[in-house]
Amino acid sequence: MGTINGLDGEMAAFDGQFYQVKGDGSVHIIPDSMKTPYATVHFFEPDQTIRLTTAFQSYADFQNHLDQYLPSRNRPYAFKITGTFDDLKTRSVHKQKQPDPSLVEVIAHQSVFEFKNITGIAVGYWFPDYMEKLTVPGYHLHFVSEDKQHGGHVLNCRFSKATVAIDFINSIKLVIPQDATFHRADFSSYNRAEIEVVKKGTSKTTTIVSLDTADSE
Ligand SMILES: [Zn+2]
């Protein structure tokens, strides 16, 4: 998972395919020519697969439940979650113009999508707190629907049945961008509150699109 150059939406990759969920909510297959300024990817080899039949009322509920399957808080985990969500709320962002605004400014203009009865795959990671300057600590999932029409960064969900595959990660390789913008960037003013905004979004100035996928067929 990650993003695309110019912060042109949310990226999700699984089953050998890379998807771009644009700010208007549309999903596109990412061509080999497209570049990313930030992505976390790996070859998924699940160590554990869980079939959940518990009803979860929220993403927070689901996260609390998932916690018990993580044997240590000091190593990363990758997830592939397949299921039908009674309610799913995702977001994406529109392509940014130069000069690059801060992530928080971008998120302030995010698009939020609300789906009902939507089937698909959510992929992502859980990272430990000590990695917070490199990535988003905690859970972070990106979703793409089974019909490859909808998706985005998961903000909330409600469901009662899903299959969760977990890959326990042992090592990480960090590839550092080699371009002038990155070399000049100032990372000294790190702000944890900003990371929370990136994860959870903000309630102001968002576009909300509601879709009941069961009715649209
Ligand atoms: Zn995201």
pLDDT of 217:
40
Q: 115, exposed or middle or buried, with CB in 10 Å at 0-12, 13-18, 19+? A: buried
Do residues 54 and 68 touch, judged by C-beta distance below 8 A? Answer: no
Local structure of 93: helix, strand or coil: coil
Do residues 151 and 144 touch, judged by C-beta distance below 8 A? Answer: yes
Ligand 1 centroid distance, CA of 199 (Å): 7
159 φ, ψ (degrees, to nearest 5): -160, 170
Ligand 1 centroid distance, CA of 68 (Å): 23
Ligand 1 centroid distance, CA of 212 (Å): 23
Distance CA(114)–CA(3), nearest Å, equals 21
Closest by alpha carbon to 71, among 43, 47, 40, 45?
47
Per-residue pLDDT tens for 128-143? Answer: 999 988 888 999 999 9
Ligand 1 centroid distance, CA of 214 (Å): 25
Low-confidence stretches of the chain (pLDDT < 70) are 190, 202-209, 212-217
Ligand 1 centroid distance, CA of 54 (Å): 25
Do residues 78 and 167 touch, judged by C-beta distance below 8 A? Answer: yes
Ligand 1 centroid distance, CA of 140 (Å): 6
Ligand 1 centroid distance, CA of 48 (Å): 23
What's the pTM?
Answer: 0.90
pLDDT of 207:
61
Domains contained in the chain, CATH given: 41-170+191-212 (3.30.1330.80)
